[in-house]
Amino acid sequence: MHAILTLCFAHIKKRKIQNVLLAIIIMLSTLLLATSVTILMNTNNIFEKTHHDSNGAHQILTMGKDIHNPNTVNNWWQEQQGVSASNLIPYRNLSGFTANGVETTNLYLFMMNTPKTPFVVDRLLFSEGENQDYPTEGTIWIPTSMATTSNISLGDTIEFNTGERAFSLSVSGIVVDLPYGGPFTGNARIWMNDSDYHKQFDTMIGSEEYMMGLRFDDYQQSANYWIEFEKFLKGPYLESKKTYESIAAFYLIINKIIGFIMIAFGVAMLFISLFIVGFSISDAILTNYKTIGVINSLGLTSQKISATYVLQFGLLSVFSIILGLIASTILSRMIIESSLSYLKAGKHLTIIQDFRITMLLAVIILVIVILTAFIYSNKARHVKPVQAIKYGMSEYANNKLNRHLNNSNRLSNLVHLPIQLQISIKNITKNMKSSILIIVLTAITSAILVFSAVIYNSFISNIKQNTPALGYDSSHVVVEVSNDATFSKQQFEQFLRSDDRIKNHAWLDQFTGVFPNGTNQPLNINVDTIEGSFEDVGYGTISGRNPVNKNEIAIGINVAKALHKNLGDTVEVYIEGKQHHLIVTGIYQSIANMSKTARITADVIKVYNATYSASEQSMINLVDETLSAQIVDDLNNKFKSSVKVDTQQTLLDAVYKEVIAVLIIPLSIIGILFIAVTFIIIFIVSRINVRKESGTYGIFKSIGMTPNTIRWSITFGILLLSSLGAMFGIFIGVKVIPVALQSIVLEYGLLELPLVINWPITIGLSFLSVVAACLGCWVSTKIIAKTSPRILLVD
C-alpha cells in the first residue's frame, strides 16, 4: 500500500498544473449538475410551498358582466363540502399608474376593496411592510411583481387616474399575490382600504365587478364539482375563470429552461472531463512505459500500478466534487432568488438543499470518474517489462509508429508544404482523439454563446420584430381608453383620419369566451375582438389566416389541441352568454395566456348586439415608424383626460426585459465557464502533445527553427480545429437547442421559438471559443521556448 500511495502522490506532484486544471473541470461539471438539480427541485417546491402557505386558490372566478348573479354563484360554492370558497371581493378596473415620476400604462389594475385578513383563500404573504388586518386609510398593498418591475418601495406614493380625477395613495405593504403577481403578468391587484375604495369609486361611471377564489381539498375532483355547478346553472359558466395551471405556469417557465440547459451542458462537461481523465491516464502510461516495465520487473504487480491511477483521480475527484457542491449552493441561490423573486415573503426564499440527493449526485459523479480511471488504467496491466525496457512501448505500438513514420515520409515527399503547415497537419493527424475533443469542446462553447446571443437578440433587442410570432400585434402605437365617460370615439377617429402620418388603425376588445369541451371542463378563455383588420395591425398565424367574416374564428394552438380542432372545423363558443358556431380559419401561437385564446371580428358580437362598437384599445400604424414618439405626445396631449398612449416598443420592453434578463444571466455564466474550460482543456491537451513530441521539437530548434515559429505552427492547427468546432456550434445554438427546448415552450403556447439572428454578432461571439482555444495552446507551448534543444532531445 505504501508503494501505491508513493506512486500516486508522485504522479500528482509531477504534473501539478495538469492535475489542478483537471480538478477544476470536474468541479465545474459538478457545479452545473448540482445547480440544475437544485433549481428544478426548488422551483416547484417553492411555488407549492407558497401556494400552501397562502392557502392559494385553484381557480379564480370573476363576474360582473350581468351574465350570472355573483351572489348566487358564491352561495352555491360556499355550500359545497370539500371546497373552500372566498367571499365576493368587489373591485374596479383601472389602467396604468404613475410612480416615482414614471407613468406605466401596460399594467391593468384590479382596485380591490380589501376584506379583513386573513382571507379564507389566497392569503396575502407580506414581503415588506407590517402585516395588518387591512390597509390603513390612505395606503395600499401592492404585489411583489409590480414593486419589482416599477422599482416601488415602501412609503412611495402611487398616483392613479380614473379618467375623471387623479388620486394618490402610499404603499404600506408589498405582498406575494400568487394569482396576479407572476412573470409576464399584465394585471395587478391593488389592495385598498374600504373608505378609500368607496371615496374614489362610488361616483365613478361603470359597474362594480366581483372576484372569488376556490380551493379544493382534492384538486383532481374539481371537474366533478363543475359538472354539478353547471347543472345548477342549467348551462356552462360564461364568465372568466383562471385555473391553477395558468397561475403556476409562468412562475416555473424560466427555471425549467435554465434547469434543462444546465443539465445538458453539465452532462457534456462531465463527459469531457472523463475524456480528459482517460486521455491523461493513457498519456501517463505511454510516457512512463519504460518506468512501469522496470517497476513491474521489480515485483510491483500490474493491478497495483493500475490502482495508483485510480487512487490519483479518485482523490482529485473527491476534492473537486466537494468544491463543486459548495459552489453550487451559492450559484443556485443566486439564480433562484432572481428568477423566483416574486415569491419572496421576507428577505430570502427558503431554498431546500436535499442532502440525500446531493450526496447521491456526488457519489454518481465519483463512481463514474473512478470507473473511467479504472478502465483506462487497465492498460498498465498489459505492460511487458522486456518490451517496455527495449522500446519504451509495446512491440505492437513500436511497429505501428514505424509504419506511421514511413507513411508520413511518403506523404511529405508527395506534398511539398511549408514546414509550419506540416507541423500543424502532423499535430492534428497524429493526435486524432485530442483533435476530435477540441472540435467538440469549441462546438459546445460556441453553441452556448450563440444561443445566449440569439435569445437576447430575439427577445430584447428585436422584440418588436418578433411580436407576431409571440401572438401580439406589431402596431407602432397603442392607445388605451382610460375613461369611457370622457372619451369620444368619433372625435378620436376624426383626428386619426385627418392626420396624414396615420397609415391605418384598428380597435380591440376582450371578451370571455366559453368553449364546451365534451366531458371535460369547458374552456373559459379570452377572446380578442377586433374592429378593423388583424392583418393590418400585424397579428400572425402559423396556419390558415385570421378571421375576416362574422362566422369565422382563429384559435390558439393549445385551444386547438384541447378541442381537437383544425382548419375548417366548426367550434361552439359562448360570448356574453350568446351561443355562436364559428369556422376555424386560423391557428396561431401566443405566449400570452399560453395560447389559450381566440380571435374574432366585431361582426360576431354584432350578430346579437347591433350597436356594439369596440372601444377598449386602439392599435395604430404609421406611415413612418420613427414618428411614433411624436404621435404618442400629440395624442396624450389632445385626449389626456380619456386615453393613455404608448409606443408598442415601450410596452414590450416593460414586459420582457426583466424576465429575459433572468434567463440571460445563467446562460452567460455557463458560457463563461465553458470558455474557461476550453482554455483549460486545450492547455492540458497541448501540454501532453508537446511532451510526446518533445524530441521532434528539439530537433527543429537545433536546426535553427525559432520557438515562436514552432508555437505558431501548433497553434495554427488548433485554430483550424476550433474554427470547425465554432461552425458546428453556430448550427447547434441556432437550430438544435431551440428544437430541444420545444417540449418546454410548447406547454406555454409556442410551437417553436421565434428567433431573430444577428449574424455578425452571432459569428463574433462563437469565435470567442476559438480565441480561448488558441490562447490555451499558445500558453501551454511556452515550455518549448523555455527548454533547451538538448533537454528536449533527452526527454
How does DSSP assign 331-372, residue by residue? HHHHHHHHHTGGG--SSS------HHHHHHHHHHHHHHHHHH
Q: Are residue 675 and residue 622 in the same domain, yes or no?
A: no
Region for 697 from its dihedrals, namely left if φ exceeds 0, alpha if ψ lies in -120 to 50, beta otherwise = alpha
Q: Are residue 226 and residue 339 in the same domain, yes or no?
A: no
pLDDT at 308: 80
Quick: pLDDT tens for 4-23.
677 666 766 777 777 787 88
pLDDT at 9: 67
Q: Are residue 205 and residue 70 in the same domain, yes or no?
A: yes
Residue type, 695: G
| CB of 766 closer than 8 Å to CB of 449 | yes
Over residues 272-290, the mean pLDDT reads: 74
- Residue 413: count other Cβ atoms within 10 Å of its Cβ: 8
φ/ψ of 584, rounded to 5, equals -75, 115
Chosen domain end from 654, 679, 700: 654
Quick: pLDDT tens for 421-472.
777 787 777 778 788 888 988 998 898 889 888 888 887 777 778 888 888 8
> At a CB cut-off of 8 Å and minimum separation 6, what does 395 contact?
387
> At a CB cut-off of 8 Å and minimum separation 6, what does 674 contact?
265, 269, 441, 444, 445, 448, 769
Q: Are residue 346 and residue 443 in the same domain, yes or no?
A: no
Region for 19 from its dihedrals, namely left if φ exceeds 0, alpha if ψ lies in -120 to 50, beta otherwise = alpha
Quick: pLDDT tens for 182-199.
877 778 999 999 999 999
Torsion of CA 396, 398, 404, 407, to 10 degrees: -100
Q: Are residue 670 and residue 777 in the same domain, yes or no?
A: yes
Q: Are residue 645 and residue 663 in the same domain, yes or no?
A: no
Within-domain flag for 125: yes
* DSSP annotation string for 260-276: HHHHHHHHHHHHHHHHH
Handedness of CA 420, 425, 431, 434 (dihedral sign): positive
C-alpha R_g of the chain: 34
Quick: pLDDT tens for 108-143.
899 999 988 778 898 899 988 888 888 999 999 999
Report the DSSP pairing between strands 166-176 and 139-143. parallel
Within-domain flag for 313: yes
| CB of 684 closer than 8 Å to CB of 280 | yes
Within-domain flag for 477: yes
Q: Between 94 and 702, whose confidence is greater?
A: 94
pLDDT at 664: 73
Most confident region among 276-285, 322-331, 688-697 by mean pLDDT: 322-331
Q: How far separated are the first and last CA of the chain, in Å rounded?
A: 30
φ/ψ of 56, rounded to 5, equals -60, 150
Quick: pLDDT tens for 546-603.
999 999 999 999 999 999 999 999 999 999 888 999 999 999 998 878 889 999 999 9
> At a CB cut-off of 8 Å and minimum separation 6, what does 210 contact?
62, 63, 64, 70, 74, 88, 89, 90, 91
Quick: pLDDT tens for 740-758.
887 778 877 888 888 888 8
Give residue 294's pLDDT band: very low, low, confident or very high (50, 70, 90).
low
Total structural domains in the chain? 4
Give residue 391's pLDDT band: very low, low, confident or very high (50, 70, 90).
very low
Quick: pLDDT tens for 473-492.
889 999 888 777 778 888 89
pTM: 0.78
Tell how far CA 720 is from the center of its chain.
33
Q: Are residue 483 and residue 457 in the same domain, yes or no?
A: no
Q: Between 700 and 453, whose confidence is greater?
A: 453
Over residues 609-627, the mean pLDDT reads: 89
Integer Cα distance of 169 and 157 in angstroms: 6
| CB of 120 closer than 8 Å to CB of 248 | no
Q: Are residue 634 and residue 668 in the same domain, yes or no?
A: no
φ/ψ of 137, rounded to 5, equals -60, 135
Chosen domain end from 365, 383, 401: 383
List the beta bridge partners of residue 2: none
Within-domain flag for 620: yes
pLDDT at 732: 92
413 has pLDDT over 50: no
Region for 346 from its dihedrals, namely left if φ exceeds 0, alpha if ψ lies in -120 to 50, beta otherwise = left
Within-domain flag for 611: yes
- Residue closest to 457 by CA, chosen among 793, 764, 61: 764
| CB of 772 closer than 8 Å to CB of 721 | no
Within-domain flag for 251: no
Q: Are residue 164 and residue 217 in the same domain, yes or no?
A: yes
Quick: pLDDT tens for 595-607.
899 999 999 999 9
- Residue closest to 717 by CA, chosen among 787, 792, 770, 786: 770
Q: Are residue 500 and residue 579 in the same domain, yes or no?
A: yes
Within-domain flag for 585: yes
> At a CB cut-off of 8 Å and minimum separation 6, what does 672 contact?
none
pLDDT at 20: 82
Chosen domain end from 654, 675, 706: 654
| CB of 56 closer than 8 Å to CB of 215 | yes
Question: Among 65-69, 164-168, 387-391, where is mean pLDDT lowest?
Answer: 387-391
Q: Are residue 170 and residue 21 in the same domain, yes or no?
A: no
Residue 89, CA distances (Å) to 25, 197, 199, 508, 569 in order:
56, 12, 17, 28, 39
Q: Are residue 739 and residue 775 in the same domain, yes or no?
A: yes
Q: Which helix (H) or strand (E) holds 484?
A: none
pLDDT at 729: 92
Quick: pLDDT tens for 490-545.
889 999 999 999 999 999 998 889 998 877 788 889 999 999 999 999 899 999 99
- Residue closest to 625 by CA, chosen among 648, 654, 592: 648
Which residue range is the domain that position 98 belongs to? 65-238
Give residue 786's pLDDT band: very low, low, confident or very high (50, 70, 90).
low
Within-domain flag for 400: no
Mean pLDDT of the chain: 83
Residue 594, CA distances (Å) to 245, 249, 553, 565 in order:
10, 8, 18, 17
